[in-house]
């Protein structure tokens, strides 16, 4: 069964550094998402992406964050200048349609900011 | 605004006994509801989905959920727990406007031998 893959599985970065989290969505999917889960808290929506542009973003997704689909397969989340509070598990998801198909998730990238 | 509330943060059952994980939703529209499971150090796996077809939804690994509009509930059940069911379970509603998923707080299921 096709799956969403995320790399790296664990990223350790110094505060203030830039970090790029990478995702390869399921190949025929059209909608892409990033979520995050801070330890002990709910999974939170960050951003959705369709047709090469952001469809929706949450309040968390400020100017420090950006997303890109640089080619036909990768979908990346960049954090420009990381803060301690960015430490979390970041999940990428993709879906075939907007409404009646579920989102499929990768295994996540655990981001640790020192 | 749509939301889901998982009524138990932790549920513990014995192997072979039934599982009940409770979820209530709030939605102005006919909701799309999901249950996802997260095993330790793994991603979120879809267990089942409700999208306004049959109210009793069957999922993977013997799990079921029943959509009850009158009670605004979408509880997850399984007749007989296995050790491998120990995990975190999330009740999720899809936002009708933007498509994003809104997660409940999660219920940690422990299964005792």
In this predicted model, what pLDDT tens digit does every residue of A18-41 receive, in sequence order?
A: 999 999 999 989 999 999 999 988
Residue A70: predicted pLDDT = 85
Angle made by CA atoms A38, A89, B99, in degrees to the nearest 5: 85
Angle made by CA atoms A35, A41, A47, in degrees to the nearest 5: 15
Domain range annotation of chain B: 3-105
What is the number of structural domains in chain A? 1
The candidate with the shortest Cα–Cα distance to A104, out of B84, B50, B101, B10, is B101
To probe the interface with B, which of A91, A105, A109 has the most B CB atoms within 10 Å?
A: A105
**Residue of A56, A102, A106 with shortest CB distance to B43:** A106
Instruction: Fold for B3-105, please state it.
Output: Immunoglobulin-like (2.60.40)
pLDDT averaged per 10 residues in sequence order, chain A, 114 residues? 90 96 94 94 94 93 94 92 96 87 93 96
Range of the domain at A11: 5-113
Region B81-104 average pLDDT: 93
* CATH number of the domain to which A78 belongs: 2.60.40.10
Residue A65: predicted pLDDT = 97
Q: What DSSP designation does A84 have?
A: G
Q: Per-residue pLDDT for B75 more than 80?
A: yes
- A vs B: CB pairs below 8 A: 53
User: Contact B85/B78 with Cβ under 8 angstroms?
Assistant: yes
> B83 pLDDT band (50/70/90 cuts)?
very high
> B99 pLDDT band (50/70/90 cuts)?
confident
- Give the percent of chain A with pLDDT over 70: 98
Judging contacts by C-beta atoms under 8 Å, the chain A residues touching residue B4 are none
Judging contacts by C-beta atoms under 8 Å, the chain A residues touching residue B3 are none
Q: B1-19: string of b/e by CB count within 10 Å (b at 16+)? A: ebebebebeebebeeeeeb
Distance of residue B112 Cα from the nearest chain A Cα, in angstroms: 23
Q: Do A91 and B102 touch (CB under 8 A)?
A: no
Judging contacts by C-beta atoms under 8 Å, the chain B residues touching residue A56 are 98-100
Beta-carbon contacts of B30 under 8 Å, excluding residues fewer than 6 positions away, are B52
What's chain B's average pLDDT? 93
Provide the token pair at A90: 């970041």
> B1 pLDDT band (50/70/90 cuts)?
confident
Query: Which residue is closest to A97 within chain B, CA to CA?
Result: B99
Q: Determine the Cα–Cα distance for residues A95 and A97; give it in Å rounded to an integer.
A: 6
Q: Is B42 exposed, middle or buried (0-12, 13-18, 19+ CB in 10 A)?
A: middle
Judging contacts by C-beta atoms under 8 Å, the chain B residues touching residue A53 are none
Residue A111: predicted pLDDT = 97
| Helix/strand/coil for A15 | coil
Tens digits of residue pLDDT in B12-67 = 999 999 999 999 999 878 889 999 999 988 889 999 999 877 889 999 999 999 99
Residue B71: predicted pLDDT = 94
CA distances from A36 to A85, A87, A112, B44, B100 (A): 12, 9, 13, 12, 13
């Amino acid at each position: 069964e096709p799956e969403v893959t995320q790399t790296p599985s664990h990223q350790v970065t110094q505060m203030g550094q830039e970090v790029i989290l990478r995702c390869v969505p399921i190949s025929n999917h059209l909608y892409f998402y990033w979520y995050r889960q801070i330890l002990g808290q709910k999974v939170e929506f960050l951003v959705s992406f369709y047709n090469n542009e952001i469809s929706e973003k949450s309040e968390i997704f400020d100017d420090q964050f950006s997303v890109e689909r640089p080619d036909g397969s990768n979908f990346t989340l960049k954090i420009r200048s990381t803060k301690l509070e960015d430490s979390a598990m970041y999940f990428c998801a993709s879906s075939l349609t907007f409404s009646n198909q579920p989102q499929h998730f990768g295994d996540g990238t655990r981001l640790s900011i020192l | 605004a749509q939301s889901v509330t998982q009524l138990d943060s932790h549920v513990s059952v014995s192997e072979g006994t039934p599982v009940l994980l409770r979820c209530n939703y709030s939605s102005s529209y006919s909701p799309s509801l999901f249950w996802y499971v997260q095993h330790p150090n793994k991603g979120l796996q879809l267990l089942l989905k409700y999208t306004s077809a049959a109210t009793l939804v069957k999922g993977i690994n013997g799990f079921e959920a029943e959509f009850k509009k009158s009670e605004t509930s979408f509880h997850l059940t399984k007749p007989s727990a296995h050790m491998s069911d120990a995990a975190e379970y999330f009740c999720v509603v899809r936002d009708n406007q933007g498509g994003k998923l809104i997660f409940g707080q999660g219920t940690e299921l422990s299964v005792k031998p």
